[in-house]
Amino acid sequence: MDINQRIESYWDKRSEAFNELRLQELKSPNAKAWHALLAQHIPLDRPLRILDVGTGTGFFTFLLCHHGHTVTGIDMSQQMVNHSRQNASTFHSTATFEKMDATKLAYEEGTFDAVLSRNLTWTLPDPKAAYTEWLRVLKPSGVILNFDSDYGKTTFARNEGHVHANVDGHILDECTAIKNSLAISQETRPAWDLKTCKQLGAHEVSLVPDVRPYVQQDTNLQYEEIPIFMMRVVK
């Protein structure tokens, strides 16, 4: 099993519990907070074509599609995509979901007004290739919003009171082992991400070092105590 297959298999196994967590979050104050943050950086007054990369089970996609946008969520895990499609049916959503590699997008150049991603780039064997592809499929002046954390030195463990408290220890060990095998885990982030996107020719790159004070509004949804950065990239 190569690294991509190993990552896909891991997230397939996590998909059911992950879906339950995201459905809980969609009903929580976090959803409104995330929506408000996205609205500061993505125009909501006109229909856009938006790509949600590493959609998981559709959290960002469902937040945005009711504005009249054409939103597509992609994920390399087939089980995540299956849950997303079921959620779309349940919510009567116009969102569409496809199984796809974040580093090999099946879209023409200049297809999207915005590309979004949450907690994905730390899991990728080749995040530079992902940024290259995201910029390629953006329209001129299009925006990338990438939310992620510097998990490189983290060992994942079950922490009482956190959302992952009930995750099987073997699953968390596998997550840590996969993470440690990836080159991105040896980089200092988000400095590496900022530098890479500038090297790839982005017109503008900016950073919010930690969005947790804005988006983590539900005390019943406690995540790891590590900053969540937001990198905003304009093509």
Cα separation, 39 vs 191, whole angstroms: 25
| 17: containing domain | 3-41+49-234
- Rounded to the nearest 10 degrees, what angle do helices 3-26 and 29-39 cross at? 110
Q: CA–CA distance from 191 to each of 38, 128, 231, 235 (Å)?
A: 22, 13, 10, 18
What is the structure's pLDDT at 165? 67
pLDDT, tens digit, 9 for 90 and up, residues 181-197: 999 999 999 999 999 99
Residue 43 pLDDT greater than 90, yes or no: no
What is the structure's pLDDT at 222? 83
CATH number of the domain that 30 lies in? 3.40.50.150
Cα separation, 204 vs 212, whole angstroms: 23
What is the structure's pLDDT at 150? 96
Across 91-107, average pLDDT: 96
Cα separation, 139 vs 234, whole angstroms: 10
What is the total count of domains within the chain? 1
Percent of the chain with pLDDT over 90: 83
pTM of the predicted structure, to 2 decimals: 0.95
Is the CB of residue 144 less than 8 Å from the CB of residue 115?
A: yes
